[in-house]
Amino acid sequence: MSKKYKAIVIGTSAGGLEALVKILMPLPKDFSLPIIIVQHISPDSDNYMTQYLNSVCDINIKEADEKEKIKAGNVYIAPPNYHLLIEENFTLSLSNQEKVNFSRPSIDVLFETAAYAYGSTLIGVILTGANNDGSKGMKLIHNFNGLTIAQDPKTAYVDNMPLAAIKATKIDYILPLEKIAELLIKIHSGQKKKK
């Protein structure tokens, strides 16, 4: 793992909050890779998820804002009813264009724009969920030589999303949630040592 990664994108749907807790909670306070997340949520949700994750995790978790610059050490979550995009100047952008894969925010929209912005320095993670959103984005991340990680479908609350991604492209790691957190920490500490 000699490559230097610059960002992580995570997509999840049904069962996602529990999955995110298992991945984000173990991350140390000094975990500096920015993480950008799309969780399928109802359009009229409040920001309970962001507040809850912030209360149980050591790293800073916030709802993404329009034109916000992506900073090390932050976790950004797509607000309800908005697609979250990453611009090529590494700022976040919100859009209320039509749904993609019946979803807004859509995982594919985040993953595809992130792949174009970060190229081979991106890590894509697909978790539990009930449709195939994210599979096209994972394929693009793989095509750009980014790192692809899927939750082991056998451990997912709903296995459709990881299965669709595994079918769509080559996944570098298929792991249960706690092993995903371990891998991200290992990559991060490996990069810190190289500085």
Task: Exactly one of 83, 103, 108, 133 is catalytic; name it.
Answer: 133
CB atoms within 10 A of CB 114: 27
**40 catalytic, yes or no?**
yes
Give the torsion through C-alpha atoms of 153, 159, 161, 166, to 10 deg: 30
Element housing 7 (H / E):
strand 7-12
**Structural contact between residues 110 and 83, judged by C-beta atoms closer than 8 angstroms:** yes
Tokens 């050591």 -> residue: 58
CA-based angle 3:174:118, to the nearest 5? Answer: 35
Q: Is-contact 169 137, C-beta < 8 A?
A: no
Check: CB of residue 68 under 8 Å from CB of residue 76: yes
Active site residue 83: no
Surface-to-core class of residue 17, CB atoms within 10 Å of its CB (0-12 exposed, 13-18 middle, 19+ buried): middle
Q: Which residues are catalytic?
A: 13, 40, 133
